[in-house]
Each structure stands twice: as C-alpha cells, then as structure tokens.
Chains A and B, each alone.
Chain A
Amino acid sequence: ETGVTQSPTHLIKTRGQQVTLRCSSQSGHNTVSWYQQALGQGPQFIFQYYREEENGRGNFPPRFSGLQFPNYSSELNVNALELDDSALYLCASRPGPEAYGYTFGSGTRLTVV
C-alpha cells in the first residue's frame, strides 16, 4: 500500500509567478484535501476534491485553485504568487468525503522571493 506522494519537495518562485503542486493519493482513497502550513503554525484548510469536483473550500482567495483527475491524483495551482504564500503545502487523502482516516504527504516547501 503506497502512501501519499507530493512533488516537488522544494520550490522557489518569484513574486507574481504561477506554481503547480502535485499529489498522488493513497491507493483506495478518492478524496483529496490541500492544506497550507506557514512556519510555526498549524495546517490551514485550502480545499477538498471528491469525484473531480471541489467539495469544500477554506478562506483562501480564488487565485488558489485545484484539479482532481480520474485516478484521484490532484494538483494545487496558485497564481500571482505573493511573499505570504511561502509555506509548506500538504496534501491529505482519505477513503471518502466523510471518512476520518486522513493520510498526509510529506509536503512541498514553497518559497516566494
């Protein structure tokens, strides 16, 4: 049973640029959530995808968007990067939209300069 895989592990971008982060969910998991974790803070919910549709969203602007593919993998896209977007981005998958068994990936460390 494979876990949640995220890529890339680290990324440096310039303010104003766009970035795409990728996540492969754990085998058998059809629901993917994305979280942003700033340094010294707890993870903050960005959005969740189930059956290729957004199924819940946190307090993040529209320049944060996502996709889920038929194989349940997912992407997080951020446009017009700001310095405050620098954070660890975590992907978590679970067996269904109401299941409690979250599995987190190791995250992508994004630095915006």
Chain B
Amino acid sequence: EDQVTQSPEALRLQEGESSSLNCSYTVSGLRGLFWYRQDPGKGPEFLFTLYSAGEEKEKERLKATLTKKESFLHITAPKPEDSATYLCAVTTSGNTPLVFGKGTRLSVIA
C-alpha cells in the first residue's frame, strides 16, 4: 500500500528563520510527487510537481527537492504570509489517485 509521511506535524518559525519540511514516501513506482499549500477552510493550491530523483524546483521562497525515498520543501527567509498547511502527495501512474500525507502546519511569526 502506498504511504506518505510528513514531518514535522507542526512547525513554528520566526520571520526570516529558514527551515525544511519533509515528505517520505513508500510507493511501488513513483510517477510524480506533488506539493500543495492549503489555507484554513480552502482547497489545496498547487506548488510543484517532481518526477525523478535529483529534480529540484523553485518558486519565490520555496524550493522542492526529490530523492528516491523522500522530498524536502525548503523555505528560505519565510514571511508571515507563508503560514499554511503544506501537503505532499504521490501518484504511481496517471490514472491512480493522489495519495496524500497529513500535512505540515507551518506558522511564521513576525
């Protein structure tokens, strides 16, 4: 059974304090790993898709990396507006559904 585990469950940072969120996965043949941002009471907002080990993608203060067992979402010099829950999901083929982790709840304090 495909599994996704995210850590930590919650993270509290001071503004400007860089850190990383972890997503470890166990799947039978990864086809894609996705990062989403979710604000309270809202749907997930797409951030990145990673397809193969060694791949990296960046967007503003966020950088996602992928290895054969895990992915990291690095947040550089975060701001209060980066506060949200960050979800990781995987798929093993185009026609299989996304399997999500429980998310990391990030709070950035000014």
| Interface residues, chain A, with chain B CB atoms under 8 Å away | 4, 6, 33, 35, 40-45, 48, 55-56, 58, 88, 90, 92, 97-107, 109
Whether B103 lies near A97 (C-beta < 8 A) is no
| Interface residues, chain B, with chain A CB atoms under 8 Å away | 4, 32, 34, 36, 41-46, 49, 87, 89, 91, 93-103
If A43-B44, A48-B97, A98-B93 are given as contacts, then 8 extra A-B residue pairs at C-beta distance below 8 Å, sorted by A number, are: A33-B97, A33-B98, A42-B4, A42-B87, A90-B43, A100-B49, A101-B46, A109-B41
Residues of chain A within 8 A (CB-CB) of B41 are 88, 106-107, 109
Whether B94 lies near A97 (C-beta < 8 A) is yes
CA separation between A51 and B36, bound complex, in Å?
27
CA separation between A58 and B98, bound complex, in Å?
11
Whether A58 lies near B102 (C-beta < 8 A) is no
Residues of chain B within 8 A (CB-CB) of A56 are 95-97
Which residue in chain A gives the minimum CB-CB distance to B103? Answer: A42
CA separation between A56 and B77, bound complex, in Å?
41
Residues of chain A within 8 A (CB-CB) of B91 are 100
Q: Nearest chain A CB to B10's CB is how many angstroms away? A: 10
